[in-house]
Structure 1
Amino acid sequence: MSKANKESLSVGTKIEYRKDFKDIYLPKTMPVIIDVPKMKYVMISGEGDPNGEEFARVSEALFSLSYAVKMSYKSNEVPAGYYEYTVFPLEGIWDLVDKSKPATDKSNLKYTIMIRQPDFLTDELFDRFVKRTKKKKQNPYLEKLTFGEIAEGLCCQIMHVGSFDDEPESFARMEAFCEEEGYVRSDYTHREIYLSDPRKTEVTKLNTVLRFAVRRFR
């Protein structure tokens, strides 16, 4: 890459999700309604306890690919339209395998976890980065990564502070808020966005965005 091209990458403002997308990633601890736009994600689906080894390896595959995209400005083939940005946080859409079992049975969970990607990433570039990452990382879940767009649309969300096990309290507040404001939950899957590293953060200080789809009923 030429010196001129390298210098051009440093021009402009770095995109940081905590500053540039506060409405999406940094809600208050009170429920709000938000219209979430279409965004690009690298994703992978699975089942089982998120505290297990498999989930850790799945997450590792997502971050490996995401950092390969971010650091691609150092390569000889800088993606067209590349801009500097902070890697987005891990997110997950959660559901139950067997709806007759309680949500507290973590072995009964199924998920699609994902990391948002910059606008310049294309299907062709995604395939290229997967191949490159597989040469550096021995992770079988890299083969199962997919790339696509998701438009969540109208949602209720809140910042949940504390243990994942206490999330039902926040969901109850969200549903009560929706009823008061004339909305009803339209999908019983939900999204979580992990803003804290549970390996390094006290349980009482974990920050997790909780979100579910809604529609107006009045």
Structure 2
Amino acid sequence: MKVDLKKSLDSYRARANEFRVLDVPAMQYLAIDGHGAPLSGDFSAAIGAVYPLAYKLKFASKQDLDRDYVVMPLEGLWWADDMSSFTTARDKTQWDWTLMIMTPEWITQEMFDAAVAKVASKDRPAKLDEVRLETLAESRCVQTLHVGSFDDEVSVLAEMHDRFIPEQGFAMTGKHHEIYLSDFRRVEPAKLRTILRQPVRAA
């Protein structure tokens, strides 16, 4: 039986035009860091490294553990020295990012290392050695679903950051988190579905 963790984990649920406070459990990810505008050459190379590993791990889990699962969507952590570059100036050259794909907790470091070796043996991605397996613990977060282009996120983020989070007695902490429920390489911008998440703490 193939498991789809998007459907069973509450942290992958969100509605448009609704901000929700939730506690996100610690989860394990494939992760790779970079800097600069989305869809730059560096960004595309990072995607080209993380996806082959994600699928190699899925097949290993099915074959070796008899535990099949749906590969999870691409996610991104985003930050900058001046966070206004996300909501006002939109200077994408100043953005830092970590691209991630969540992997089930039963995927071990040994399985990851074996998957890296197998991916490296044929058409080795340029950034393969930069991918790591790590755990992210975000805890209390606010999130919503955005439908539309990435540049249209500005007003939603401003509402989340400047109104909802302070009104709930929180302050922002951690990094802006996006979960790409749509494949932005194939879906037109107006139809993109993206979960926007912001970790928070008591103000």
Shared fold per TM-score greater than 0.5: yes
Q: Tell me if the contact between 1:101 and 1:108 (Cα under 8 Å) persists in the aligned partners.
A: no
State the superposition RMSD in angstroms. Answer: 1.8
Unpaired segments ≥5 residues, structure 1: 1-12
Mapped contact 2:182–2:193 kept (Cα < 8 A): yes
2:107 aligned to which of 111, 114, 121: 121
Structure whose CA Rg is larger = 1
Within the candidate set 150, 166, 171, 1:164 is matched to: 150
| CA distance in structure 1 between the partners assigned to 2:202 and 2:151 by the alignment | 29
Q: Deviations over 1:37-75 (max 9, x none)?
A: 011111111111112122111112111000001112565
1:26 aligns with 2:13: yes
For the structure 1 residues 132 and 184, does the alpha-carbon distance in structure 2 shift closer, same or farther, using more than 3 Å as the test? same
d(CA) in 1 for partners of 2:201, 2:42: 35
1:3 counterpart residue number: none
**1:100–1:171 distance in 2 versus 1, CA, 3 Å:** closer
**What is the match of residue 90 of structure 1?**
74
1:31, 1:173 within 8 Å by CA — same for their partners in 2?
Answer: no
Query: Is contact 2:32–2:46 with CA below 8 Å preserved after alignment?
Result: yes
* Gapped regions of structure 2 (runs ≥ 5): none
Which secondary structure does the structure 1 equivalent of 2:155 belong to? helix
**CA shift for structure 1 position 136:** 2.1
Residues 15, 99 of structure 1: CA spacing in aligned structure 2 closer, same or farther, 3 A cutoff? same
Q: 2:4: which partner in 1?
A: 16
1:193 aligned to 2:176?
Answer: no
Normalised by the length of structure 2, the TM-score is 0.90
Tell me: CA distance 1:57–1:68, structure 2 relative to 1, closer, same or farther (3 Å): same
Residue pair 2:146, 2:195 contacting (<8 A) in 1 also:
yes
- Residue 75 of structure 2 aligns with an amino acid whose one-letter code is E
Q: What SS class does the counterpart of residue 190 from structure 2 fall into? A: helix
Task: Tell me by how many angstroms 1:164 deviates.
Answer: 0.6
Residue 82 (structure 2) pairs with residue 99 (structure 1): yes
State, as a whole percentage, how many aligned pairs show the same letter. Answer: 37
1:25: how far off?
1.5
Question: 1:102/1:179 Cα in 2 relative to 1: closer, same or farther (>3 Å)?
Answer: closer
Correspondence for 2:159 among 169, 173, 177? 173
For 1:36 and 1:95, the matched residues in 2 are separated by: 19
Partner Cα distance (1:138, 1:165) in 2: 33
In structure 2, C-alpha distance between the alignment counterparts of 1:31 and 1:101, rounded to whole Å: 20
Instruction: Tell whether 2:49 aligns with 1:49.
Output: no
Q: Aligned equivalents of 1:73 and 1:42: distance in 2?
A: 15
Q: 2:97 matched to which residue of 1? A: 111
